[in-house]
Structure 1
């Protein structure tokens, strides 16, 4: 099996067609006259690109500066194993984007963005040979639970019906209390995902599937109020889990095309290192290569707040802001193994095998609770690991050479291991092998001769590849009550305006947090447009 080094990855990524970049410094300066810029955007993740797209549509001249050789951030795609195999480097599923008004407001389909909704949606197999599958057909999914435990099949139908009945009331506790099921749901809203799974289902396998299907974000399953994670097994069948045709970065590419079509510029290899402050106002940014960019209206940052704090004099940040950023907590870090393979995982099922785009493993519900314990102790744990397995080429063959596939195995491990984070380089292949062996016990077809190449990303590697993945946090950080909603990124500064005049913030550090839904980007654009005397509603109505 061939391997690729980090140096080879960075060199290769810089040459891929996924990056929009100027070839040299002179070209950058001539193509982007800083004196004519209205908005400078630091970072080219999907949220900052969405915000920049709205601002460009409003007529403001924008430049987007990305420190990596490619755009996309958490929706990046690159050929990291072998040529022709396009791997999603972090996120693959864009479920939340489908309901974001930006899809229509920015006419992204006209800029090359399209989606596939795989069916089956998600699958899990257990060591005893039993299995569960979520299908787009609700009743077909319910029968999967019937097969494990008829009472759990009825519970699945019942909780789905109740959820549909009260869904519109869940954000209004006063109205919810007036509903016949209101007081039951008021208690459920406070439950952890673990408690909710145990409340709804009897069989440990049904509970495990509900938890594994939902534990793809930054919510610890034992956290009060994380109940939604255990119910995603209900909603995922209804909504599906869409993937972008060609790779996750198709979203970023469509947004970049939209921006450049309206006079904006997107530049890569532009690491922002300092905010330019004039008269206590943010007037622009400086980059590591010595270039600087000034925005006549504002600067929009999608830099991690842990890094943002160091880019301006400390005296400009209020003490409570500094203290709150100091308390920012990472989530349990992500560990990712990418493979180029000859065939997808084939799970034995009645009548043959099943090869879904997405599957999960969790032997029992309690195993998920150990993630927080292991993280706190810096303990690498590869015993029966909870895993997310993504093989998008099952539905989208354009991502790999004919008949071949990309495979991604996501797990969770501590960033700060006992041996010290620097030791991840020596240990990561052992962890990856343990993950692969776990999958092989359930999909035995993935023998060594089926694997063509691999690329392993430890939590430390993840942070190196994208500084926004602070301490290996794929969603920028923990998303529990103390770091969500009005607490994100900092109490008193959750409205996308930063303490320094002229500086705005978006991205996964802002509410509603990580995952691919684009809400932080659109919300930030709405705030900025309002401050500029306009509205996002008016901009959305503009044609062209």
Structure 2
């Protein structure tokens, strides 16, 4: 009998497996796909020699992750940490620039610079407390109440109708809304504001880093340690029922909660799982380019991460339309009621990591939010929006590859409807992820634990979900503290 079986080889599953192996237990990881990594896969999606991240590309929470630090991933993996964390171009060649240097960012924002400092600097001053507060489930007393209070008050401001009281110009609010929109959903909300604040803090703290060679490097590093400690990884083994892993003393699921329905669940827990909601999907496009993107504002070309969508009002309108079920790319006067200019998250990793493309060439990764289950091919939509802020972009495209929300869901069953976050990000679902509990990683199925992004602290590449689930399983099933 195996001590621990982990289903799914995403970052949380691999972290959980390594934690168990470090405790001296026998561990096996079962992966349904032919390659490991889950959201950390990197592949040649367009042309030979052009390496694209299949899902996540830049990891704002990675360099600040206490688990990655404990596991040595910050030392064993070569990271790119850009000086310009992210950029937000606006019409007319203007742009908001979030430098890792907070003073430089404040200076560039002009009259709104001091307000930006007051928003972010108090969080930076207690960043460890903020990370601790947001890095687990919310049903606990914060270790740093001051950090939690500062974070909560700012979330309340930027997540409600008060969000337009801080800034006077249009660049600073657009810059912040670009990170808020990572959360995918209606805007403003407390949950999206909290996500934006955390991302903005990381941008001026440890930085928005990513590994040289692509996200796959992180999965490979974790897999190498697991194998070195005697663990086993088996690919091409989709698990469709918990009966298939009943020969383990503990099972950790780096999956959507739906797999639990293959067991006999208590009625209350089953009802709670059925109430769990998934969010908007994404439509993703990857480009192979003949050269760097010709941004109208050249400084935008220094940022591996770029947010498109225009002003705060434009982004909010676009995200709210998608949250109501409208397809992007259809004008408000059309039958679909969707945003003509949607929010688009872009990364251009090859500007800082030449290994990602042949000499002189570049890769571009982009997605936009769409209603769950959408079949939209976003290639033309994304191309037009990049062209809006980088005239001439279209002429550089050598090849592209698109994935609709439906195709992403087929590629990874955990992306229900194309939701890459494994569950809608709302305040209610940050408390009940996927159920209300002081130990939400534990399930009522004997020896079975959830460790995916459907558990606290939610999505992002930081491994914390796997860490908390593994610690709980080791203590309860094996008596290991």
Task: Confirm or deny a common fold (TM above 0.5).
Answer: yes
Question: Which residue is 2:63 aligned to?
Answer: 98
Q: Distance in 2 between matches of 1:474 and 1:204?
A: 30
SS in 1 for 2:455: coil
Is 1:320 paired with 2:268?
Answer: yes
Q: Residues 47, 506 of structure 1: CA spacing in aligned structure 2 closer, same or farther, 3 A cutoff?
A: same
| Deviation, structure 1 residue 217 | 2.8
Give the 3 Å change call, closer, same or farther, for CA 131–492 of structure 1 in structure 2: closer
Q: Note the C-alpha offset of 1:353.
A: 7.3
What are the equivalent positions in structure 2 for 1:172-251 lying under 5 Å apart?
Answer: 187-193=153-159, 195=161, 197-218=163-184, 220-231=186-197, 232-251=199-218
In the alignment, is the contact (CA less than 8 A) between 1:65 and 1:266 conserved in 2? yes
**1:436 corresponding residue in structure 2:** 383
**Other-structure match for 2:86:** 122
CA distance in structure 2 between the aligned counterparts of 1:175 and 1:250, rounded to whole angstroms = 34
For 1:389 and 1:219, locate their aligned partners in 2 and report how far apart those are by CA, in whole Å: 18
Report 1:73-92 matches (<5 A): 73-92=38-57
Question: Which residues of 2 match residues 490-529 of structure 1 at below 5 A?
Answer: 490-492=435-437, 494-529=439-474
- Identify if the C-alpha distance between structure 1 residues 461 and 175 changes in structure 2 by more than 3 Å, giving closer, same or farther: closer
Counterparts of 2:417 and 2:479 in 1: how far apart (Å)? 38
- The aligned residue for residue 262 of structure 1 is 229
Larger radius of gyration: 1
Matched, 1:457 2:457: no
Structure 2 spans left out of the alignment, 5+ residues: 134-140, 329-337
Contact preservation (8 Å) 1:205, 1:363: no
Instruction: Give the aligned length.
Output: 461
1:141-180 counterparts in 2 under 5 A?
Answer: 141-146=105-110, 150=111, 152-164=112-124
The one of 407, 431, 434 equivalent to 2:364 is 407
Structure 2 equivalent of residue 300 of structure 1: 252
Tell me: CA distance 1:257–1:169, structure 2 relative to 1, closer, same or farther (3 Å): closer
After superposition, what is the alpha-carbon deviation per residue over 1:151-177, rounded to whole angstroms, capped at 9, x for unaligned?
A: x11212233334345667765689858
Change in 2 beyond 3 A, CA 1:475/1:494: farther
Aligned to 1:360: 307
Q: Distance in 2 between matches of 1:174 and 1:131?
A: 38
Matches within 5 A, 1:466-505: 466-485=412-431, 487-492=432-437, 494-505=439-450
* In structure 2, C-alpha distance between the alignment counterparts of 1:523 and 1:185, rounded to whole Å: 22
Q: Is the 8 A contact 2:187 2:320 kept in 1?
A: no
Cα deviation for residue 80 of structure 1 reads 1.1
Pair 311,358 (structure 1): closer, same or farther in 2 beyond 3 Å: same
Aligned with 2:474: secondary structure?
helix
Determine if the alignment matches structure 1 residue 391 to structure 2 residue 348: yes
Name 1:310's counterpart in structure 2: 261
Following superposition, the deviation at residue 348 of structure 1 comes to 2.8
Whole-angstrom distance in 2 between the partners of 1:223 and 1:160: 18
Change (3 A) 1:228 1:464: same
Query: How far apart are residue 377 of structure 1 and its match?
Result: 3.3
Q: Match for residue 334 of structure 2?
A: none
Q: Is the 8 A contact 1:190 1:225 kept in 2?
A: no
Contact kept? 1:197, 1:230, Cα under 8 Å: no
The structure-2 alpha-carbon separation of the partners of 1:520 and 1:390, relative to structure 1 and needing over 3 Å to count, comes to same
2:393 corresponds to which of 442, 446, 451 = 446
Question: 1:385-441, CA deviations, whole angstroms, 9 ceiling, x for partnerless residues?
Answer: 11111011111111222222110111111124xxxx5xx2xx41xx32022111112
Could you list the runs of 5+ residues in structure 1 that have no partner in the other structure?
1-34, 277-283, 286-292, 537-544
Correspondence for 2:15: 50
Rounded to whole Å, the distance in 2 between the matches of 1:166 and 1:245 is 29
Q: CA RMSD in A?
A: 2.7
Answer yes or no: is the 8 Å Cα contact 1:220–1:480 preserved in 2. no
Do the aligned partners of 1:193 and 1:230 also contact (CA within 8 Å) in 2? no
Asked if 1 retains the 8 angstrom alpha-carbon contact of 2:124 and 2:201, the reply is: no
d(CA) in 2 for partners of 1:234 and 1:515?
A: 15
Q: CA deviation at 1:531?
A: 1.5
